[in-house]
Amino acid sequence: MTSAPTKRTPLYEVHLAAGARMVPFAGWEMPVQYKGVIEEVRAVRTRVGVFDVSHMGELEVVGTRALDFVQYVTCNDASRLTPGRAQYSGLMTPRGTFVDDLLVHMFSPERYFLVVNAANKDKDYAYLCAQAPAFDNVEVYDRSADYAQLAIQGPFAEQVVQKLADQNVSELKYYRFVEAQVAGVPAILARTGYTGEDGFEVYVAPEAAAEVWHAMMDAGSEFEITPCGLGARDTLRFEACMPLYGNDIDDSTTPLEAGLDWIVKFEKGPFLGREALLHQRAVGIKRKLVGFEMVGKGIPRHGYAIFQGDREVGVVTSGTFSPTLGKPLGLGYVPVELAAEGSELFVNIRGQKVAARVVPTPFYRRAK
């Protein structure tokens, strides 16, 4: 356990007033739920929900060689970005494993805005700073204290944000962002999210966060906008099979093993981990992250062992009862020869081997 004092987001009092249950998470005191995970998940899938994700880290890479630097430390191809576009990527070790997964926003060829996991922010910043001296004229800044982040997610998110934004957000496509006024407050308004629904992530100054939160709650009241905690966020991202660092990916897993081949762009030129990943691609991955449903009764959980017959073959990285699909589901690493759809496995649930079956992912995909 860490002994460092937990940090509070600028919305701490707002959460208490809204009846949140607060829990420690990645060094922060965060709302895990308000009314209940199932109700909050349903709100995001069918209407709209708002999340305080101010714990997330924001790092900025600035300088004439900013693009070269981002290209070198991440596996996706940042040269495909244009100003106002964002991409999902991986911050790579030389072994081709994840230091972190992140969103890379391009403001200009000389300025990139990286959004990283709260638990990894200090590690990421130190890692980037250690790589930066090899690039003349690149500076890395930790801007995390300058931003609060609100995520507004769900089918009615666009209508709610439109009431508050000073520009036409219907024209803002997925994975694009603009600098806009939201509720009269200067914001970075990005059409991104971690729920599998349409929605926005809104970055504002910490002192403006409560104002923007209340404005969203007011503007969303006609859609029964619902405050949502980290419990719902984790469940939503799990149903959409968006990986969680520390569970589904970490510094021992590669994007190829995690099924994230689409964020590895070998053709872009040298980057950290490229040789290791080329080698892994050439010899073939040994294990793969798969989704499975339970055939027997039980809920798979992070850390449970996966068996084929009597042989332990893998581990559950995330699992829960999916409120949207109405059944227990899991993600886990298994040997590649057991990764095909329909493959029959067992999950050791507190000493009982319960039958499971590999199914296609994502578990949930929103109707377009």
Binding site for other proteins (CB under 8 A): 32-33, 36-39, 41, 231, 234-235, 297-299, 301, 320-321, 323, 328, 350
- Nearer Cβ to other proteins, position 23 or 205? 23
- Nearer Cβ to other proteins, position 41 or 114? 41
Contact 232, 52 (CB under 8 A): no
Residue 204 CA to residue 135 CA, distance in Å, equals: 30
Contact 139, 30 (CB under 8 A): no
- Nearer Cβ to other proteins, position 10 or 323? 323
Q: How far lies 31's CA from each of 51, 229, 319, in Å?
A: 9, 5, 20
- Nearer Cβ to other proteins, position 38 or 285? 38
Report, in Å, the least distance between residue 321 CB and other proteins: 4
- Nearer Cβ to other proteins, position 36 or 84? 36
- Nearer Cβ to other proteins, position 329 or 345? 329
Report, in Å, the least distance between residue 38 CB and other proteins: 4
Report, in Å, the least distance between residue 322 CB and other proteins: 9
The set of residues, in sequence order, having a beta carbon less than 8 Å from that of 273 and lying 6+ positions away, is 75, 92, 93, 94, 95, 96, 97, 254
Report residue 102 as tokens: 């992140």
Report, in Å, the least distance between residue 228 CB and other proteins: 13
Residue 274 CA to residue 249 CA, distance in Å, equals: 17
Residue 327 CA to residue 298 CA, distance in Å, equals: 10
The set of residues, in sequence order, having a beta carbon less than 8 Å from that of 278 and lying 6+ positions away, is 266
Residue 270 CA to residue 259 CA, distance in Å, equals: 21
Report, in Å, the least distance between residue 354 CB and other proteins: 11
The set of residues, in sequence order, having a beta carbon less than 8 Å from that of 364 and lying 6+ positions away, is 196, 239, 240, 241, 322, 324, 325
Q: Which amino acid is at 310?
A: D
Report, in Å, the least distance between residue 79 CB and other proteins: 41
- Nearer Cβ to other proteins, position 5 or 351? 351
Report, in Å, the least distance between residue 19 CB and other proteins: 11
- Nearer Cβ to other proteins, position 37 or 102? 37
Residue 10 CA to residue 15 CA, distance in Å, equals: 10
Q: Indicate the angle between helix axes 37-46 and 230-239, nearest 10 degrees.
A: 60
Report, in Å, the least distance between residue 21 CB and other proteins: 8
- Nearer Cβ to other proteins, position 11 or 41? 41
Report residue 30 as tokens: 């965060």
What kind and span of H or E run contains 233?
helix 230-239
Report, in Å, the least distance between residue 352 CB and other proteins: 9
279 burial (CB, 10 Å; 0-12 / 13-18 / 19+) is exposed
